[in-house]
Amino acid sequence: MKTYMVPPMGQNNALIDGSVIQDIEDMEINMWSDVIGVKGRIDVAFRRKSDGRIVPLELKTGKSNYSRDHEAQVLLYCMLLSERDSGQIPPGMLLYLKDATSKSINPNPNSLKQIISTRNGMSIFGGHIGIDA
């Protein structure tokens, strides 16, 4: 992580998408959205130097084994941050700490629809078995 942090804490190297961290906005942020009906804990939210936008950064402790689940998690965090920020859904980042591999996660309408559809399906199923969504 120090590789990407601003001096004097780190080396200020760019993440894979070219993003440079201007500063850390917050860590371990608990967020809840009534709009999309999800809650989550964002590992790190950083301010991107190029445009000042706040970007969620999900830290994974293992080797890079990118999965759709990891992407969906980051996209949910992007949606959560969009409600707090400008309303525009920012891109997100995954960082695998064991091998220092990062991946940019860019929201697109199809992925977002699929995630919300999955969430809605889980909510309906939860209602059938007596769990409040």
Give the CATH number, domain containing residue 48: 3.90.320.10
- Average pLDDT (64-74) is 90
Note whether residue 54 is domain-resident.
yes
In terms of residue numbers, what domain contains 77?
21-126
Residue 15 belongs to some domain of the structure = no
Q: Is 33 exposed, middle or buried (0-12, 13-18, 19+ CB in 10 A)?
A: middle
DSSP tag of 38: E
Run of H or E residues at 105: strand 101-105
Confidence of residue 77 (pLDDT cuts 50, 70, 90): very high
In terms of average pLDDT, the best of 40-44, 86-90, 122-126 is 40-44
Q: Does some domain include residue 2? A: no
Residue 12 domain-assigned (yes or no): no
Number of domains observed in the structure of the chain: 1
Residue 42 lies in a domain: yes
What pLDDT, on a 0 to 100 scale, did the predictor assign at position 9?
62
Phi-psi region of 12 (alpha: psi -120 to 50; beta: other; left: phi over 0): left
Does any domain span residue 87? yes
pLDDT band at 128, cuts 50/70/90?
Answer: low
Q: For residue 113, is it within any domain? A: yes
Q: Give long-range contacts, CB 8 A cutoff, 24+ apart: 67-72.
A: 70/94, 71/105, 71/111, 72/111, 72/115, 72/118
| 16 within 8 A of 102, measured Cβ to Cβ | yes
